[in-house]
Amino acid sequence: MARAALLGRLGWQFGELVELVHETPRVASLYFNLPMWPGHLAGQHVDVRLTAEDGYQAERSYSIASPPEDRWVALTVERLDDGEVSPYLVGELKVGDKLELRGPIGGHFVWRGADDRPLLLVAGGSGVVPLMAMLRHRSSAPHKAPARVLYSSRTLADIIYREEIDRLVAANDGLSVTHTLTREKPAGWSGYTRRIDAAMVKEVAWPKAQAPAVFVCGPTPFVEAAADLLVGLDYDPLWIKTERFGATGGPGG
Amino acid sequence: MKMQTSEMKLDGNAIAGLLGEIFAVEMTTAKGTCASCGAVNEVGRVEVYVQAPGTVVRCPACEAVLMRVVRGRGRYWLDLTGVRCLEFAEG
């Protein structure tokens, strides 16, 4: 299955939306039934293609949120009001509708459950999506690498998958998650309330001697800042894999 | 809204689909050698700009152009002048 996911020519296929879950006011998870799906790895993405009646096409990439084990393929999409594609996916698409997509795509930004290195996941906003596929995959793996997550959101209400992340942590299987909020300081909040910085990364990240596998995903400025901070801890740049979403949280929306 | 070019920078993951249309195997795990500085990087680590009429791929070490891809009118134009060598696994 895993090998099949990396092979073969990319073809467009239609998936039927079978479930829609609102994660935050601007973010929804879309679950698709894809009969032709060859299987995927945690961290991969799909390309979505919309075709207008006049033939105009718009194409965007979205990370896969579901782990390889799941029956449906889930995308979690942030609605960008000036976007061409995301306002259709989050707002117009209904259960039973069909969507054209191709995938799985990518082989660099992937994590396999058999990788036993300590795992460090650093997420900015909707950059948590491919990292959530990794956490979900990890939760069903027979042997679980110890994992730490640093997740930056604007406000409490903007934290995607908040309750599910709490449940994963409560399973007490070697996962710890640290949140930071950049635009709000809620009463009783125990996480950080500032942008990611050197002191925060030093507290959360594995010591250099642990040689962790690191995945960083989010808007481009966030990813660049986080990767620089990790290199500042003397991490080998080759341990760090990054995925940039561009300036707005998604590649053009 | 004016944005810094650097904020629009993507990485090689963003062209995995485009390269998948052209090559028979997954290409973000391929290793490319920069013709300018000799740095070897996985395609997943290169810098990608998609705002140009085509897609421009730059070396993360020296920022020289590695690759340009233009798709249009049913054809592809693939300029690999900046890549000395591409190494990838058999499919």
> What residues contact residue A149 under an 8 Å CB cut-off, 6+ apart?
A120, A121, A122, A123, A131, A135, A165, A175, A176, A177, A178
For CA atoms A128, A104, B14, A145, the dihedral sign is positive
For residue A192, the 8-state DSSP code is B
Nearest by CB to residue B44, choosing from A10, A109, A252, is A109
Alpha carbon distance B86, B31 (integer Å): 6
Give the pLDDT of chain A (253 residues) as one tens digit per residue. Answer: 444 444 457 899 999 999 999 999 999 999 999 999 999 999 999 999 999 999 999 999 999 999 999 999 999 999 999 899 999 999 999 999 999 999 999 999 999 999 999 999 999 999 999 999 999 999 999 989 999 999 999 999 999 999 999 999 999 999 999 999 999 999 999 999 999 999 999 999 999 999 999 999 999 999 999 999 999 999 999 999 999 998 764 444 5
- Phi, psi (5° rounding) for residue A49? -125, 125
pTM for the whole structure: 0.94
Which residues of chain A neighbour B40 with C-beta distances below 8 Å?
Answer: none
For residue A111, the 8-state DSSP code is B
Question: If one looks up domain A12-105 in CATH, what number appears?
Answer: 2.40.30.10
- In degrees, rounded to 5, the angle at the alpha carbon of residue A225 between the alpha carbons of residues A234 and A228 is 20
Contact A14, A31 (CB under 8 A): no
Domain ranges of chain B: 9-87
CATH architecture of A119-245: 3-Layer(aba) Sandwich (3.40)
ipTM of the complex: 0.92
Q: Which residue is associated with the tokens 């995607």?
A: A160
Q: CB distance from A221 to chain B under 8 Å?
A: yes
Domain ranges of chain A: 12-105, 119-245
Of all residues in chain A, the one with the smallest CA distance to B40 is: A238
Q: CB distance from A251 to chain B under 8 Å?
A: yes
Which residues of chain A neighbour B25 with C-beta distances below 8 Å?
Answer: 6-7
